[in-house]
């Protein structure tokens, strides 16, 4: 693995999260609550094996995967869909393609200086988030 993402990271900025949630059909009330959160990413990485926990006071979400191996993802507590997901390395970036009902769905993580960057995409929406080690 070319990079180590391990650690506990706290959200410091988020752009266009509202429209990303709309593209996932998240209802108004849930979006209002979700927008106020400052989640943490707890990432455990052993080589190409990852667990990523997204933790907040409202909901928690866990994914576990190995780079290069497709996995079934159940977005329980988020938009509650079933996905077939695949994470690969694009140089130093971790790129996930999430196949399912929604077109162009996925995410990309990379490290820039002391920041963890995340781009979330769904349909025509792009949400950019930055996290810092806590």
Residues 6+ apart with CB under 8 A from 128: 13, 14, 15, 16, 117, 118, 119
Of 26 and 126, CB closest to ligand YOG: 26
Q: Give me the least distance between CB of 132 and ligand YOG, in Å please.
A: 15
95 binds ligand YOG (CB under 6 A): no
Q: Which residues of 89-104 are buried (b: 16+ CB within 10 A; e: fewer)?
A: eeeeebbbbbeeebee
Select from 1, 10, 16, 37 the one that contacts ligand YOG (CB under 6 A).
37
Give the total of residues touching ligand YOG (CB under 6 A). Answer: 21
39 binds ligand YOG (CB under 6 A): yes
Using only C-alpha atoms, what is the Rg of the chain?
14
Select from 11, 52, 83, 87 the one that contacts ligand YOG (CB under 6 A).
52
């Amino acid at each position: 693995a070319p990079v180590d993402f391990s650690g506990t990271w706290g959200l410091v900025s988020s752009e266009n999260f509202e429209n990303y949630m709309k593209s996932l059909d998240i209802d108004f009330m849930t979006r209002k609550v979700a927008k106020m959160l400052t989640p943490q990413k707890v990432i455990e990485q052993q080589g190409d094996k990852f667990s990523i926990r997204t933790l907040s006071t409202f909901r928690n979400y866990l994914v576990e995967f190995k780079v290069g191996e497709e996995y079934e993802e159940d977005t329980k507590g988020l938009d509650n869909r079933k996905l077939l997901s695949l994470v690969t390395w694009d140089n130093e970036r971790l790129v996930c393609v999430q196949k399912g009902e929604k077109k162009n769905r996925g995410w990309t993580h990379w490290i820039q200086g002391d920041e963890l960057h995340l781009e979330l995409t769904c349909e025509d929406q792009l949400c950019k988030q930055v996290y810092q080690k806590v």
